[in-house]
Amino acid sequence: MAKLSQHENFDQVLLGAIDEALSGLGEAGKASIYIHLERLFKIRKQEIPSKLNDFSNVVGQIFGLGARHLEILFMKNLHANLEVTCKWSTYEWSLSKWIVPEMAFQEYVRLMQQNFEAANDDKVEIGVLVHEHEELQK
């Protein structure tokens, strides 16, 4: 396991998680998504983190109902690549601790980014899987 320095960027890890999920469509499918994203929607791959709402809308337009499953895969990959612990809100009724809140992709990324940045502010190192780290460096 390698450690991310403070100079490592959350956006790179997010892009790696998205790229990994899109790889499930095959390399040609992934390339096609990025080409359409740039040509039709004017969003370059490197701009996805700053245009997350637009990206999510485009994924919805392209994949329809399947977009939610793809966004869940984005979130799972992001979670797997970062060792950030997030605390979920609990409510004042007994079953609340057993119910995982449904969260939109953008909200999840925002929460993970806040925790990532807080960990870096506290000089805590965040772990990333070695093969993911190497892929980000390419």
The torsion defined by the Cα of 29, 32, 48 and 71, in degrees rounded to 10, comes to -30
pLDDT score, position 67: 93
Query: Which residues make beta-bridge pairs with 3?
Result: 127
pLDDT given for residue 79 in this prediction: 85
Q: Work out how many domains the chain is built from and give that number.
A: 1
pLDDT of 81 reads 85
pLDDT at 118: 78
| pLDDT, position 115 | 81
Please give the average pLDDT of every successive group of 10 residues along the chain, which has 138 residues.
51 94 95 95 95 94 92 90 62 50 78 79 47 46
pLDDT of residue 47: 95
How buried is 53 (Cβ within 10 angstroms: 0-12 exposed, 13-18 middle, 19+ buried)? exposed
Alpha-carbon gap, residue 84 to 113, rounded angstroms: 9
- Whether residue 62 contacts residue 41, with contact meaning beta carbons closer than 8 Å, is answered with no
Residue 51 belongs to what domain range?
Answer: 2-137
